[in-house]
Amino acid sequence: MSTRNEWPLWEVFIRSRAGLDHKHCGSVHAPDGALALQAARDVYTRRQEGVSIWVVRADQIIASDPGQKAELFDPMEDKVYRHPTFYQLPDDVNHI
C-alpha cells in the first residue's frame, strides 16, 4: 500500500505534573496540529501522565546522522578534564 496519502507523523512531548521539562514519549499520525494535539491527549495522557503537551511535525525536526557518530561524539571519550571533578571545593559549597 502506498504511504503517500498517510497523515504526517507528529512527535509528542509531555510535561508531567511534577516535571519541569517536556519529555518525548511517542508519536501520533494526524492530519493537522489541532488533531495531533488531541490524539496525543487521547493516546498518551489517559492515566494522568501530563499537564502540558507539545506536538512537533516529525519532518520538521533536524536530526543528527547516526553515520556521523564517529566524528560527532567519539572525540569526547577522552576529554575527562571537561568534567568538573578536579577542583577542590570550599567546605561551604561542598554539597552542590
Binding site for other proteins (CB under 8 A): 7, 28-32, 34-35, 38-39, 42-43, 46
DSSP label at residue 72: H
Cβ pair 81, 48 in contact under 8 A = no
CB of 57 to other proteins, least distance (A): 15
Nearer to other proteins, 33 or 73 (CB): 33
Rounded least distance, CB 76 to other proteins, Å: 39
**14 or 30, CB closer to other proteins?**
30
* 19 versus 33: smaller Cβ distance to other proteins: 33
DSSP string, 2-47: -STTSPPEEEEEEE-TT-SS-EEEEEEE-SSHHHHHHHHHHHH-TT
